[in-house]
Structure 1
Amino acid sequence: MTTPPAGGAPQGPPEPAGPDRSGHVAIITGMSGAGRTTAGRVIEDRGWYVVDNLPPALIPELMRLTADDPARQKIAAIVDVRTRDFTRELDRALEELAGGGLRPRIIFVDSSDESLVRRFESVRRPHPLQGEGLLLDGIRRERRMLADLRSSADVVIDTTNDNVHQLSAKIDALLNTDARVQLRLAIVSFGYKYGIPLDADVVLDLRFLPNPYWIPELRDFTGRDPQVRDFVLGQERTGTYLDHAEQMLRTAVSGYLQEGRRYVTVAVGCTGGKHRSVATAEELTRRLEDLEEAGVQLTTFHRDLGRE
């Protein structure tokens, strides 16, 4: 990834980059150690021009310098809290871009505190906001500083349990710039024993259903196998629950589209993320497939499948 561009102070808002740039400008931020740089490398491998460790105040200048460069129409800037007055500078930069007709997608990369502690300890480096305190003190300080930005981000990517391939799949879904897609709806199965996904907007709990784990002939199969799928979906309560969940999501999607929301994650959980949540997530996706005609892109992930 390249270094930040040189140049003086911005000279007014950037000129609009034209329709070709719509959806092709992103700001990657988030918690230190959560994988900002890894996300940037994945995006760079997809043909984007990525600038790491860019002071937020220079983002409008970067847009100006690359506006007429055909090879640099897909731009991603990675920014973090080490910049002085980070939040204020980023707000000003976004306002300036909006004045020039650009609205970058803000991608917030997050991970659980426990995961961040392990990662910093494995590389034996202090947290940038740790100071004289403990590692966890720095993580919590950064999380407080970024709380508002996280809540306003277009999408939050939870990397707690992701390997680079899973992260790549999530980013590929985000980078789909099909103009027909107005909302990207991800349905993610998970196991409560591994924690609720940090990027969940809606959580559905399947632990009230009978658990196939306690049935010896079903234990070694998953919710993708017909034996388990038929058992889970054959429960009367499953059908009733899915009917209500489907209606709730259809109502919510209608509102999301009207309000211009672009990314939503629905997390479907059971104890281990292997049986009930997997079968139900796939059935819920099947029921909602017709939403694609209204500009909704559906994606299904099974976060914890294969962990046992």
Structure 2
Amino acid sequence: MELIVITGLSGAGKSSVLDIYEDMGYYAMDNVPPTLLPKFINLCIESNREIDKVAVVLDIRTGSFFKDIITVLDDIQANGYEYKLVFLDARDEVLVKRYKEFRRPHPLTPKGSITEGIDLEREILQELKDKSDFLLDTSNLTNAQLKDNVMGFMDLTNQRTLDIAFVSFGFKNGILLDADLVFDVRFIPNPFYIEDLKPLTGLDQKIIDYVYKWDVTKEFSNKVTELIEFLIPHYISEGKSQLVVGIGCTGGRHRSVAIAEELSKRLNGLNYNSTSAHRDKSRW
């Protein structure tokens, strides 16, 4: 299991970084007491959800629990669980400005000076900072730059995959609302009007053979495959983890089903993670 531990100065952007990891498919948990981290790891490993990527935030908000963090991290590593430690920092004046913008006290000095709280927190966190695998100063980073830095550290642009779902549907039952891309295949001859094909579906070989006997279907499938191959690295670089491609025909039974199945097979054959689904299957 891949484990990312995010920590650092309060106000430096730990929650924002956790959100980035969550968007990239990590199981994310904020403000985990360090002493509970080993149990949390075991729960993830034993879970039926097949959790293999986890990102957690450990910070000063856990109060007295936080003093155990170094020991806990050492124990985790000794038990064979590797982790990457991400430490977020920012200049004092930037942290003070962020606290004042949100009108929040520092968690270590709720009734005192923000700067005193920052100084105390820096002292407490110094050992963790020294142990970090990735030290990031967020003082001047936009949200987009923050994401780029996190992805650059993990080399996620190359490691990540995009899950592609081809979903057939019938326009007469409404458009596919959650699609990122929609293709209308009603220009392809419709087997619905052939008596012995009408009761079948796009999962049947006779329908597949009929739909793909037309040159226009073959050319369409080739062009869509090329387009999606072109788009994949660009979507990944923007942090997208799933692409839903809607394939629509009139009723969502014949043409769109056969083509969604074929496109999914093609992308899988090119070593992409692709699935197919049929929204209107219950109407067949």
Give the TM-score normalised by the residue count of structure 2. 0.52
- Give the structure 2 partner of residue 126 of structure 1: 105
Q: Which structure 1 residue ranges, 5 or more long, are not aligned?
A: 1-20, 181-308
Shift of 1:179: 11
List per-residue Cα deviations over 1:28-66 (Å, max 9, x = no partner): 000000000000001100000010011001110111001
TM normalised by structure 1 equals 0.48
How far apart are the structure 1 equivalents of 2:35 and 2:100? 32
Q: Indicate which of 33, 44, 68 corresponds to 1:55.
A: 33
The structure 2 residue matched to 1:115, chosen from 94, 97, 104, is 94
- Are positions 1:91 and 2:87 aligned together? no
Tell me the distance in 2 between the aligned counterparts of 1:114 and 1:91. Answer: 28
- 2:20 is aligned to 42
Q: How does 1:196-215 map to 2 (within 5 A)?
A: none
Deviation readout 1:254-306 (Å, 9 max, x if unpaired): xxxxxxxxxxxxxxxxxxxxxxxxxxxxxxxxxxxxxxxxxxxxxxxxxxxxx
Q: C-alpha distance in 2, partners of 1:46/1:155? A: 18
Q: Per the alignment, in what secondary structure is the counterpart of residue 135 of structure 2?
A: strand
The residue aligned with 2:11 is 33
Give the alignment's Cα RMSD to 1 decimal: 2.1
How far is 1:169 from its partner?
0.4
Note if contact 2:70-2:128 (Cα within 8 Å) is conserved in structure 1. no
Larger radius of gyration: 2
- Aligned-pair distance for 1:149? 0.9
Identity of aligned residues (%): 33
User: Greater helix percent: which structure?
Assistant: 2
Shift of 1:72: 1.7
Question: Which residue of the other structure, out of 65, 75, 79, is the alignment partner of 2:54?
Answer: 75
Looking at structure 2, the residues matched to 176 and 71 of structure 1 have their Cα atoms a distance apart, in angstroms, of: 23
Q: Distance in 1 between matches of 2:59 and 2:8?
A: 7
Query: What is aligned with 1:163?
Result: 142
Say whether the 8 Å CA contact 1:94–1:103 is kept in structure 2.
no
CA distance in structure 2 between the aligned counterparts of 1:112 and 1:58, rounded to whole angstroms: 31
Which residue of structure 2 aligns with residue 106 of structure 1? Answer: 85
2:94 and 2:50 map into 1 onto residues whose CA distance is 37
**Do the aligned partners of 1:130 and 1:138 also contact (CA within 8 Å) in 2?**
yes
Structure 2: distance between partners of 1:87 and 1:46: 27
Q: How far does the alpha carbon of each residue in 1:90-138 deviate from its partner, in whole angstroms, 9 at most, with x for none? A: 1222122123211211100111000000000001111111243211111
- Alpha carbons 1:30, 1:109 under 8 Å: kept: yes
2:63 match: secondary structure: coil
Q: Report how far residue 68 of structure 1 moved.
A: 3.5
Report SS of the residue matched to 1:54: coil
CA distance in 1, matches of 2:65, 2:148: 29
**Residue ranges of structure 2 left out of the alignment (5+ in a row):** 160-284
Q: Match of 1:102, as an amino acid?
A: Y
Between the aligned partners of 1:45 and 1:97, the Cα distance in structure 2 is 25
